[in-house]
Amino acid sequence: MSYLDTNLSALLASVLNDLDAASGASAQRMSKPELLARIHNALSSGPDVSRLTSSPPQIIAAIHNVVSSGADVSAKTSTVPQMLAAIRNALSDAADISHLRVSEGALWDAAMALVAATNDVVDLRPAVLALSPVVMFDPSDLTTMFQETTGASATIPAVVDSPVGSILNIGTAGGYATASADANRPLLRLSGGLYYLDFDGTNDCLVFAHGGSITNPVDRLSAIRQSTWTSADRIFTGSSSGRILKQVTASPQLNMENGAELTLSPGLAVATPGVITERFNGVTSAIALNANAYVTGSGGLNAAANLYIASETNSTRWSDIDLFGFVQFHAAQIDASITTVRTWLAAKAGVTL
Ligand SMILES: [Ca+2]
Ligand SMILES: [Ca+2]
């Protein structure tokens, strides 16, 4: 990790330059969550800005004030330079600003926590999408789901309590996850204001083909509920031996397996929604429930070319689960990005992290 030793004006100028170079941001309007995500990405990728030291509360409070002002923080009401100028003006009111230094991760975590805490209607989906996940499913977006199993050519919109045969991948790979037959379609449900896909544990499975073999590292995050628990049932698989999340040994344990196994115990209580983070990265793999500490160790090195939801390869070990959201990266993410994704998934599933 490198360290930044600069004042905020220089930092913001650097961020704006990065954004402009990438996207012509000086003319671009974006929502505040999108802007925060872009700032986050810029800070994370710069050669000298990946980490600062100390965390002054004035900076966090000032950014919070700017971000939370306005009636609708998700509306695209300002250009990027206008928002950065407002942040800079707010920061300049703080004492001794030219010498403040801040940890990018701490700043981002605190800013997102404050935004989430004070704007309970903020949808972090734009912020998650800005992280460029390869695969992402959002069952609360009814425009992404269809009743037929035919993917791009499907035309009958999904409706609550009816089957979903195709769901659009809103991640960078595009395409659809589809059921291989009508009997294999989960049902779209709505309960307590939350949408989810209800798999029957008998033959329901959605399949997404990556189009090639995917190797480590893979970060996979999901919001699920185990309706029942049967040892060896599969929540997700990539193949019969790769990128597996399964129910194992004793209720309600879960483990991830990719040639080696990491067990999450006591796991996720049956009938309770939770956010599962699986980080497939050989001997430094990790799995966690919600915001709890990771269980770490070897998860193995197998590759997998597909994603099967609620079954082992669409052929056996079907699990009786509900799926509220799914996000998969084919590169290791920084902790702040994991936090952003978890926060979005938790909101989709009604989970308090
Ligand atoms: Ca079925
Ligand atoms: Ca079910």
Q: How far is the CA of 161 from the centre of ligand 1 (A)?
A: 13
Ligand 2 centroid to 220 CA: how many Å? 22
pTM: 0.71
d(CA 35, CA 41): 10
Strands (E), the chain: 135-137, 145-146, 166-168, 176-178, 187-191, 194-198, 206-214, 218-226, 234-237, 244-247, 254-257, 261-264, 273-280, 285-289, 295-297, 304-309, 321-329
**Centre of ligand 2 from the C-alpha of residue 245, in Å:** 17
Ligand 1 centroid, distance to 251 Cα (angstroms): 24
Separation of CA 179 and ligand 1 centre (Å)? 10
Please tell me the distance between residue 184's alpha carbon and the centre of ligand 2 in angstroms.
12
Centre of ligand 2 to C-alpha 100, Å, is 52
| 308 within 8 A of 267, measured Cβ to Cβ | no
pLDDT of residue 93: 46
Output the pLDDT for position 54: 32
Question: What are the tens digits of pLDDT across the range 141-186?
Answer: 999 999 999 999 999 999 999 999 999 999 999 999 999 999 999 9
Residue 30: the pLDDT is 55
Residues of the chain with confidence (pLDDT) below 70: 1-123
Contacts of residue 270, Cβ cutoff 8 Å, sequence gap at least 6:
226, 227, 228, 229, 251, 252
What is the CA(185)–ligand 1 centre distance, in A? 6
Q: What residue ranges define each of the domains in the chain, with the CATH number in brackets?
A: 8-122 (no CATH), 135-349 (2.60.120.200)
Tell me how far the alpha carbon of residue 318 lies from the centroid of ligand 2, in angstroms.
Answer: 10
Cβ proximity of 348 and 136 under 8 Å? no
Per residue in 51-87, pLDDT (tens digit) is 333 333 444 444 555 555 543 444 455 555 565 555 5
Distance 187 CA to ligand 1 centre (A): 9
How remote is the CA of residue 325 from the centroid of ligand 2, in Å? 15
Ligand 1 geometric centre to CA of 288 (Å): 30
Interval between CA 156 and ligand 1 midpoint (Å)? 19
Q: Which ligand is nearest to the CA of 196?
A: 2
Ligand nearest to the CA of 163: 1
CA of 192 from ligand 2 middle (Å) equals 17
